[in-house]
Amino acid sequence: MRVDGLWIGQVAMAALTNVAFAFAVGSALLGAWLAKDGIQTVSPARAAWLRAQRSLVTGATVLVLADVVWLLYQSASMSGVGLPEAIGIVPTVLSQTHVGYAWSLAFGGAVVLLLTSLAGHQGTLRNALLWLAVIAVAAGKASLGHAADAGPASAAIGMHTLHVLVTSVWGGLVLAGGLGVVPALGTSTARGVMIRTAGQLSNVSLVAVVFVLLTGAFNAARGAGGSFEAIEVSTWGHILTLKLILVALALVLGGLNRVSALPRLRRTASTMDAHTFTNVLYLEALAMLGVFVAAAVLAHSIPGFAALG
């Protein structure tokens, strides 16, 4: 692994795609939960629903653009040329490399995700296409990582695809909820909608976290080659440790909301308890941003077992 401008650019774009994809997934879920109330012109939930819709479009747009820039950096890195010259290498990368095939799947899913997010109606076909696009993006992103070393139709690819999906559900709900949607439900007239949405967010996040931990443990064991030494002495292992610390911090904050702030909010429906839930969710969102950045660095680092030879 050579840390230079191209590597930093790749990691930055990968981190941006991670965050944008999660934002889009979380916003789609929150928008679906708020649609029944928010679609009404006069509704306390309308502001939050509109934020979820805008966040979905923004996340999908950023995902498409960041994917394009990442491919340019990747082409430059693979060919050993500068960014301007890499433009001419892109067609070869797309047509003749595994990276090109995997990127095309992820990018195609991102484009469909953007188009469906721009659709004015909320029909069954639109929703089906949206979630198929989400799965395509997750599969493409998984195939761009170290799991691809095991082959295009391997258990490692399947496990990592699931990991990308559930991480984006958990992280996306936290990011879109904590940084945009839930604060828009802060008025007293929207308190009932906030309590219901907070409960849905907490329950779905809990299920997603279980799968995140299971699939993450599989990926970590595979990357370390089953050796703790690989985690202790390799750069990859140190980055993994940092990511686990950030995940633990997010888990603690999410746990505080679930076992303390949310039950109090349900009992009192007070403004103070609503603010407490929102503030803790905001801190959890900041921790999740760090998790997604660390995940991007891991994906562009030499696995622990390879570093040990």
Domains assigned to the chain: 5-307 (1.20.1630)
Amino acid at 94: L
pTM: 0.94
Residuewise pLDDT in 10s, the chain (309 residues): 677 788 899 999 999 999 999 999 999 999 999 998 888 878 888 999 999 999 999 999 999 999 999 999 999 988 888 888 889 999 999 999 999 999 999 999 999 999 999 986 778 889 999 999 999 999 999 998 777 666 667 788 999 999 999 999 999 999 999 999 999 998 899 999 999 999 999 999 999 999 999 999 988 888 877 777 778 888 888 999 999 999 999 999 999 999 999 999 999 999 999 999 999 999 999 999 999 999 999 988 888 776 665
* Side chain identity at residue 265, one-letter code: L
- What Å distances lie between residue 72 and 13, 58, 92, 200, 241, CA to CA? 10, 22, 12, 39, 30
Contacting residues for 165 by C-beta, under 8 A, at least 6 apart: 134, 135, 138
Q: Which residues of 250-264 are buried (b: 16+ CB within 10 A; e: fewer)?
A: bbebbebbbeebbee
